[in-house]
Structure formats: C-alpha cells, structure tokens
C-alpha cells in the first residue's frame, strides 16, 4: 500500500509538472501573439503617420511652389514695365536683372515641385557643408524676416481686437506736457 501511495504521488507530480509545462507553453504562445500584434499595430501607425505627414508636406510644397511662381510672374511684369519705360542704362539693367531673377525663382519653384522632402534635406545639408558662412547668413536673414513677420502679425491682431499697440501709447507724452504746464504756471504765479 505504501508503494501504491508513492506511485500515485509520482503520477500527481508528473501531472502537475506537465500542466506547468503546458501552461508555460501557452503563456509563451500568447506573449508571442501579443508581441506580433503590437508590432503590426506599431507598423500600421507608423505608415498612417508617414502618409499623413507626407500629404501635409506635399500640400505645403504646392503652396510654396504657387507662391514662388507668383513672385516670378510679378518680376516678369516688372521687367516688362521697365522695358516699356523711358530707355536709359538704369532701367535696361534693372529690366535684365528682374528677368534673370524671375528665371531663377522659377527654377527654384520647379525644384520644389519635383523634389521630395529627403532630396531637399540632403541638398540643403550639402549646401551648408560647402558654404557654411552663406548658409548661416541665410538662416539669420530668414530668422529676421520671420521675427518681423511675427511682430507685424501681433500688431495687426492687437489692432483688430481693439487692444493697445506695442511700441508707443501717446499717454506718457500728454501727461508729461501737463506736468510741464503746471510747473510753468507755478513759476509764473510765484
């Protein structure tokens, strides 16, 4: 009977061990499935985000290209009106310069229309490596233009909302005149 009890304990232990092994295998399988599902979800999210970003960049490129083409057209009109003006060396040089500048602006517009974002980034990096001083100067100039644009936008929005404009309110001048006037009156009375 003792042998029978020992044999049944071994069977129970083997059954428990087999159950643990099966549960462990099931857990690993579930974990692998979860990892695969998570990776698929991440890949899908990256693709969706990439598509959305690509669409936004393409929209901005279209706006930039359209704006540059408009600037080139305006420069060509300027060149035409300078050619029609009274001929003198200054207007002739200005007309040629405006025509050449319009051609360059159109070239830039075509470049942005055909190039993808990676190509533009690579070309900007290459230019910056070849001409660091020009690149830094251009970045500085763009920063100044952006700051000026932001400042003028803030002033316009404040004026549209009826708020005070930055840079000067006439209040301090009028109060200083009143103070000067009252001190002259005091001297005259004395």
Q: How distant, in Å, are the alpha carbons of 17, 30, 39, 41, 68 from that of 27?
A: 15, 5, 18, 21, 60
Residue 8, token pair as written in the block: 């049944």
- Within 10 angstroms of residue 138's Cβ, the number of other Cβ atoms is 13
Segment 126-168, tens digit of pLDDT: 999 999 999 999 999 989 988 988 888 787 777 777 655 555 4
Residue 40: per-residue pLDDT:
87
Gap between the Cα atoms of 81 and 58, Å rounded: 35
DSSP line for 98-139 = HHHHHHHHHHHHHHHHH--HHHHHHHHHHHHHH-HHHHHHHH
Kindly list the domain boundaries of the chain, sorted by start residue.
Answer: 19-114, 115-158
Average of per-residue pLDDT values in the chain: 78
**pLDDT level of residue 42 (50, 70, 90 thresholds):** confident
């Amino acid at each position: 009977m003792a042998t029978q009890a020992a044999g049944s304990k071994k069977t129970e232990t083997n059954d428990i061990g087999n159950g643990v092994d099966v549960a462990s295998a099931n857990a690993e399988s579930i974990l692998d499935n979860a990892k695969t599902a998570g990776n698929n979800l991440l890949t899908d999210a990256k693709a969706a985000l990439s598509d959305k970003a690509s669409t936004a960049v393409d929209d901005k490129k279209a706006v930039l290209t359209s704006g540059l083409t408009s600037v080139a057209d305006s420069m060509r009109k300027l060149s035409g009106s300078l050619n029609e003006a009274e001929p003198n060396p200054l207007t002739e040089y200005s007309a040629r310069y405006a025509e050449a500048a319009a051609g360059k602006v159109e070239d830039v517009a075509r470049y942005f229309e055909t190039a993808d974002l990676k190509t533009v980034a690579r070309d900007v990096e290459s230019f910056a490596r070849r001409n660091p001083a020009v690149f830094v100067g251009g970045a500085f100039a763009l920063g100044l233009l952006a700051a000026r644009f932001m400042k003028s936008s803030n002033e316009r929005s404040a004026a549209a909302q009826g708020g005070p404009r930055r840079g000067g309110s006439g209040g301090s001048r009028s109060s200083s005149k009143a103070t000067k006037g009252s001190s002259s009156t005091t001297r005259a009375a004395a």
